[in-house]
Each structure stands twice: as structure tokens, then as C-alpha cells.
Amino acid sequence: MSIKVMIIDGHADFRSLLMHHVTTHWPDAIISAYDPIMAGTLPDEFSGAGNDIVLLGDSYGERDSLLALQLFAKTTGFPAIIYFGDDNKAQALEAGASAYFQKDEIRHNALVVRMSDLLRSRRRVSSTDSLFVGDMATGIHPLIKGYRFIKRLAVSEHSAVYLAKKESVNVNMVLKVLRQVPDFSDGLGAFDRFLQEYEMIAEMDHPNIVKIYDLGVSDDHAHIAMEFVPGGDLKQRIEHGVLQSGAVEYTRQIASALDRLHSLGILHRDLKPGNIMVRQDGSLALIDFGLAKRMRLEQEITGHGEIFGTPYYMSPEQGHAEEVDERSDIYSLGVIFYEMLTGQKPFVGADAMSIILKHTKSPVPVLPHRLSQHQALLNMLLAKRPEDRLQTAREVLDWL
């Protein structure tokens, strides 16, 4: 399927430049170019219908381009807008742009990556109703056979999660339905590699990794059936308070799971209490491993202060979109260890960037005297530089 791109700017040379960037990567793209100086500004009721993405330049004729941007962004169903301006990034993002580029400093790869990201998101969101909402009156999902759906637990642009019963064995399971968008593939087989990781995990039998029972793939989605853990997650457990001995034991279990994942070359990259389930017997089960690094082509801090991942638990290198390895997961484990011991996050702030900067620059917090015996381990988990941390999850286990 060809993507549909609308380019709006009053300068023909700039429209041609953007067209070149688009067609170099998407040769079959359907492009409509609009000159607001010659043709007049677009009417207020313009909806952007029929386009997958709009590239809007700051040369907009009689009307201020930022006002036009604001009007477009407020229109229900309007496509994602990438704005090209001259040192007015903050205003453009505040007006509703999905992304911003300096008009005279456009880098082809950066533009293609951002467009790909927005196109994938648009396709997932537009397919949410058909993919994620089944006939709940009868409990049958239109795409996944053999499961009776009990209720939807969560939904996002990447996936929907259901509590379901596998009819052949009459057992409750968690069913995650993942959206695949092959039309906008990054060309690296990220979705396929993601599924391969789950296949590897399905073959492993580790007490602290959620059990995978079934993995199915169709033309445009995949589903993963996994163990249903009714005890809630570690986030809820922390809110009710964790004993010092419990914090140590939980840290040991998480480290053991990471040791197994890392031995397969799998990084978690989104380790946080909400991704750690607590079974009824008190044991932990890691979930959502590998999803973070497979479902996004790039990591970036946006002008809205958003960042891929969870800033409270990010290592300094991940927060700055640098290359990460297993030591990044170890840092996240250190954050969780501190939170279990104290009930507080080690670094908080008004927005994502301020938290990331604290992870990078603020000293490792000092534990209260009653917990001082754990300070040495905490220092080695939360060291700013990866080379100063414990290097492997096995080392964490040995220390414990």
C-alpha cells in the first residue's frame, strides 16, 4: 500500500526538496503538493482526509503558519503533522505538531525515521477498533480463535491485553494481541526478531519469567498467550510496603530472571515494577521483555518532554538515547531495589527531562541508617557510568 503525503509550503524549491526526501525512501508514495501563496490558504474546514501525514512549512501566505498548524491539529482525525520552521520548535510543538525540523537543516535519515514512526502509529491507531475490540457480548474475538474473552485489561498503540480462557484446556490466560504493520517496516525485520525472542522465551523454563503457552501469527497481527498472574504487580506491592527481607529476595529473583534473559542476548529495556507480576505464592514473574527494543526504530526525547520508556527507571545512557547493554537493565534493577527498600523513587522531577538529568548528574541517594547495609550494593547498581556498575546480573546474584 502506498503512503499518501501532503506537502504544504509557499516555496516551490522547498516542496521539491521534501518530495525528494519522501520518494527516495518511498518510491511509490502518493504526494500532493499545495502552494498556499498561489492557491490561497486552506479553508478552516480542511480535514486532511485521505492523507497519512502532512508536511507543513512555515511559508503559508497571508495566514500565520503556526495558527494554521494549531487549527489543523485541533481537527478531529487530522493526520500527523511534521512542521518545518526557523527556530520556533517550542511554538510549533505547543501548537500541535507531531514533530519539528529546522527548515535549513533537514537530515534525510532523521526525517525518514520520524515519518516512519508516525505512519506506524497512525496505522495502529486507525486499526484499533477492528483489531482490539471483539464481540464482547459473545466473548469471541474476530481474529483470535480458540479463546473465550473475559475482559480487556489494557490497550495501547502497540497491543491490546485481554484476560481470556483457552477453550481447549479451560484455563485462564493473558492474551496479548500485537499489531504488525508491514507496509511501514523499517526494513530490519524488527517485528520478526521480536517474535523470535518470544519463541526463545517460550522454550525456557525459569521460575521468574512469565510462562508463554502459545504464539500465533497472521498477516497483520500476532498474539501471545501467557500465564495469568492474579496477584497483581510489584508496583501495587510497593505501594503497600515491602519488608527489607522481601526487597532483597525480590531483587534476587529479578536478577535471576535478567541473568537468564541476558544469556540469550535479550535486553528488557523497560524494567519497572509494573512489568513485574507477583504470583500468589509470592514469586515474581517478569513480563514484556524485549518489547521495548523491537517496537521502536529510534529513541528520542520529544519537545513535549516525552521519552520512550519510563524515565523513573531509565539508566543515564538510555535516557540520552545512547547504546545500551545489559548494564542498563542492572541500573533499572537498582532503582527498583531502592524503591522497594524506601517506598520512594530515587529521582523525581517535574518532567521527563529533569528526571533524566538527575539520573545522569545527581549522586546516588543515601539510604536511612536502618538500611545502610544495602548502600554498597545500591552504589554498584546505580553508578552513573556503566563500567562502574556490577557488570552482569550474575554478579548481582553473587553479591546478594
User: If you compute the radius of gyration of the chain from its CA atoms, what whole number of angstroms results?
Assistant: 24
In 268-392, which ranges are continuous DSSP H helix?
A: 291-294, 316-319, 326-342, 352-361, 375-381
pLDDT in tens, 372-389: 999 999 999 999 999 999
List the one residue out of 81, 111, 117, 140 whose CA is nearest residue 18: 111
pLDDT in tens, 258-287: 999 888 888 888 889 988 999 988 899 998
pTM of the model: 0.60
Q: Identify the pLDDT of residue 151.
A: 80
Residue 327 has pLDDT above 70, yes or no: yes
Residue 83 has pLDDT above 60, yes or no: yes
If pLDDT is split at 50, 70 and 90, which confidence band does 97 have? very high
Domain with CATH 1.10.510.10 in the chain: 234-399
Half-sphere exposure of 18 (CA within 13 A, CB side): 28
Q: What are phi and psi of 348, to 5 degrees?
A: -130, 160
Q: With the C-alpha atoms ordered 183, 188, 194, 196, is the resulting torsion angle positive or negative?
A: positive
Ranked by mean pLDDT, which of 134-143, 287-296, 309-318 comes out on top?
Answer: 309-318
Grid coordinates 501532503 are at which residue?
A: 6
Residue 127 has pLDDT above 60, yes or no: no
Q: What are phi and psi of 239, to 5 degrees?
A: -60, -30
Residue 185 has pLDDT above 80, yes or no: no
- Cα 303 to Cα 113, 306, 309, 314, 380: the distances in Å are 16, 7, 16, 18, 33
pLDDT > 70 fraction of the chain, expressed in percent and rounded: 81
Q: Which residues of 186-217 are buried (b: 16+ CB within 10 A; e: fewer)?
A: eeeeebeebbebbeebbeeeeebbbbbbebbe
Lowest mean pLDDT among 57-71, 85-99, 156-170, 281-295: 281-295
For every residue of 66-122, DSSP letters joined together read: HHHHHHHHHSTTPPEEEEEESS-HHHHHHHT-SEEEETT---HHHHHHHHHHHHHHH
Residue 288 has pLDDT above 70, yes or no: yes
Domain with CATH 3.40.50.2300 in the chain: 4-126
From 270, 281, 388, 398, the catalytic residue: 270
- Cα 179 to Cα 10, 98, 325: the distances in Å are 38, 21, 26
Q: Identify the pLDDT of residue 264.
A: 81
Q: What are phi and psi of 379, to 5 degrees?
A: -60, -35
Mean pLDDT confidence for 335-346? 94
Q: What are phi and psi of 150, to 5 degrees?
A: -95, -50
The topology (CATH level 3) of 128-227 is Phosphorylase Kinase; domain 1 (3.30.200)
Q: What is the DSSP secondary structure assignment for residue 240, as one 8-state letter?
A: T
If pLDDT is split at 50, 70 and 90, which confidence band does 308 have? very low
Whether the Cβ atoms of residue 57 and residue 101 lie closer than 8 Å to each other: no
Q: Identify the pLDDT of residue 226.
A: 87
Catalytic residue check, 288: no
Superfamily of domain 234-399: Transferase(Phosphotransferase) domain 1 (1.10.510.10)
Q: With the C-alpha atoms ordered 289, 290, 293, 294, is the resulting torsion angle positive or negative?
A: negative
Residue 303 has pLDDT above 50, yes or no: no
Residue 395 has pLDDT above 70, yes or no: yes
Taking each continuous run of H as one helix and of E as one strand, the counts in the chain are 14, 12
Superfamily of domain 4-126: Response regulator (3.40.50.2300)
Q: Identify the pLDDT of residue 194.
A: 59
Q: Identify the pLDDT of residue 365.
A: 94
| 243 vs 109, more confident | 243
Residue 339 has pLDDT above 50, yes or no: yes
- Per-chain mean pLDDT for the chain: 81
Q: Which residues of 37-46 are buried (b: 16+ CB within 10 A; e: fewer)?
A: eeeebbeeeb
Q: Residue type for 191, please?
A: F
Whether the Cβ atoms of residue 122 and residue 53 lie closer than 8 Å to each other: yes
Q: Identify the pLDDT of residue 287.
A: 85
Q: Identify the pLDDT of residue 274.
A: 87
Q: Identify the pLDDT of residue 1.
A: 56
For every residue of 164-189, DSSP letters joined together read: EEETTTTEEEEEEEEE--GGG--SS-
Residue 332 has pLDDT above 90, yes or no: yes
If pLDDT is split at 50, 70 and 90, which confidence band does 337 have? very high
Mean pLDDT confidence for 97-101? 94
Residue 301 has pLDDT above 80, yes or no: no
If pLDDT is split at 50, 70 and 90, which confidence band does 149 have? confident
Helix (H, G, I), strand (E, B), or coil: what is residue 206? coil
Torsion of CA 193, 194, 197, 202, to 10 degrees: -130
CA distance 10 to 97: 18
